Structure 1
Amino acid sequence: MDKVRQTAAEAVDDIADHASLAVGGFGLSGVPGTLIEAVHAQGVGGLRVVSNNCGVDGEGLGVLLAEGRIARVIGSYIGENKEFARQYLGGELEVELVPQGTLAERLRAGGCGIPAFYTPAGVGTQVADGGLPWRYARDGSVALRSPAKEVRVFDGREYVLEYGITTDFTLVRAAKGDRHGNLVFNKAARNFNPLAAMAGRVTIAEVEELLEPGELDPDAVHLPGVFVQRVVPLTPGQARAKRVEKRTVRL
């Protein structure tokens, strides 16, 4: 029952080339930066990543992007990550863009053992009809487009079929966690982290504060330990390392 690994390197040492990897976080909020750095140090490549976005240049998943370690991304947002955009438009990276709510539900469905579901999101657009550029060629033409999806009518309204997502591994960050893997997320960090954690066959959590079993109020647990296989306690310095993506100042 004790799922603690003493170092991030130990926790990720079986992540191999071409593994599929779900990663929690939104922008830079709740991003498991220590685990990402450990994956980077391990030198693996060809990763197939599922994440809302890919961090920013030089931070979060941007660290892996910068060295061409990621082959494919399922996500919702390219945002202001210039390297992400450059690789996608330059034909170096395959990207499947998914409506944000649909991505969240695909992760949750995969974690719950639900193979597919119908949603109205994307009906009447290329999300359902197909044709979204997944990969560009070097000359700027579209090398690979998304396929059309099944659409059915329920009670007079059209819905598109979406598939649940499962991955080989998941990396998440939590504010608190116990040795059994029960996790608590702090405020906005409770974004894609619980859903991504559910989808991984092996879920690895870095925690800012490690607690003993029984110290967490069961009613306060956001993610039960059944979804978590490894827990990495952060050092005080690692726990404090939280970059703000956009800082707003009001006079």
Structure 2
Amino acid sequence: MTGKVVATAAEAVADIGDGAKLAVGGFGLVGIPDTLIAAIAEGSATGLEVFSNNCGVDGHGLGVLLAAGRIARVTASYVGENKEFARQYLAGELEVELTPQGTLAERLRAGGVGVPAFYTPAGVGTPIADGGLPWRYNTDGSVAVASPPKETREIDGREYVLEKAITADFALVHAEVGDTEGNLVFNKTAMNFNPLAAMAGRITIAEVERLVEPGEIDPARVHLPGVFVQRVVHSGPQEKRIEKRTVRPASEEARR
């Protein structure tokens, strides 16, 4: 197989250097590019800026890079399952920009299609628009860097806030099926942020569980066309982990 296929994950991420901006697909632990993240962890790149729905959990996903002190800044929507994330943020070791989930999704998509900014009602009348959110703390707990106010505008009698598009040096995504030209199919909820992250990357690297030749994917089933993908790595099946396992006591009838 040739096309855009790279032999190993290590080779695919070899040019990700210090300070690189990464758009990373996945939602919680669903559809995250574990193989590519592990390859970056094996390298030396540090000071990374990450755009992702969340930052993994302790010891898994982006949490691996976070624990190693390799991430300097995160733009995300949800960070509640990672204790090390909270520790670094509150200790002033990590800069964090929280943004509404739908806004993050549209910022990534806008970056991918060349739209520099857009207006949205999400966040109007809150610190998202007014500024003042703590991006980084000092070690004494005071705010070192706060979010600036954003431009707002009234359109047809409703107020909107201007949000800028996101573009990244690299995008890392995970797909169930991909062909050698980078056409991708995502599995169920792994469709979440993966296509959007892929669109936002200048160089998009896709790890795929099953690698096929061009033409083996029905064109009508392609979720992301290969024009957005520059490198493909065959990772094999991904471990399907559960982020939070919740159980209830078995009923008396079930115990019989």
User: What TM-score range do you get, normalising by the shorter chain?
Assistant: over 0.9
State the Cα distance separating 1:247 from its structure 2 match: 2.5
Partners of 1:47 and 1:193 lie apart in 2 by 19
* AA in 1 matched with 2:162: L
State the Cα distance separating 1:246 from its structure 2 match: 1.8
Residues matched between the structures, number: 248
- TM-score when normalising by structure 2: 0.95
1:245 equivalenced with 2:243 (yes/no): yes
Partners of 2:44 and 2:107 lie apart in 1 by 29
* AA in 1 matched with 2:128: V
SS in 1 for 2:85: helix
Partners of 2:6 and 2:238 lie apart in 1 by 20
State the Cα distance separating 1:248 from its structure 2 match: 3.6
State the Cα distance separating 1:241 from its structure 2 match: 1.8
Q: CA RMSD in A?
A: 1.0
SS in 1 for 2:78: coil
- TM-score when normalising by structure 1: 0.97
For 2:40, the equivalent position in structure 1 comes to 39
Note the residue ranges of structure 2 that are not aligned, 5 or more in a row.
251-256
Note the residue ranges of structure 1 that are not aligned, 5 or more in a row.
none
Q: Which moved more, 1:239-248 or 1:172-181?
A: 239-248
Partners of 1:67 and 1:186 lie apart in 2 by 30
For 2:202, the equivalent position in structure 1 comes to 201
Kindly report structure 1 stretches of 4+ aligned residues shifted beyond 2 Å: 247-251
1:227–1:139 distance in 2 versus 1, CA, 3 Å? same
For 1:121, the equivalent position in structure 2 comes to 122
State the Cα distance separating 1:215 from its structure 2 match: 0.4
Partners of 2:240 and 2:102 lie apart in 1 by 25
For 1:100, the equivalent position in structure 2 comes to 101
State the Cα distance separating 1:67 from its structure 2 match: 1.0
Partners of 1:185 and 1:85 lie apart in 2 by 30
State the Cα distance separating 1:55 from its structure 2 match: 0.2
Partners of 1:225 and 1:248 lie apart in 2 by 38
- Map 1:1-251 onto structure 2 (within 5 A): 2-235=3-236, 239-249=237-247, 251=250
Partners of 1:2 and 1:41 lie apart in 2 by 26
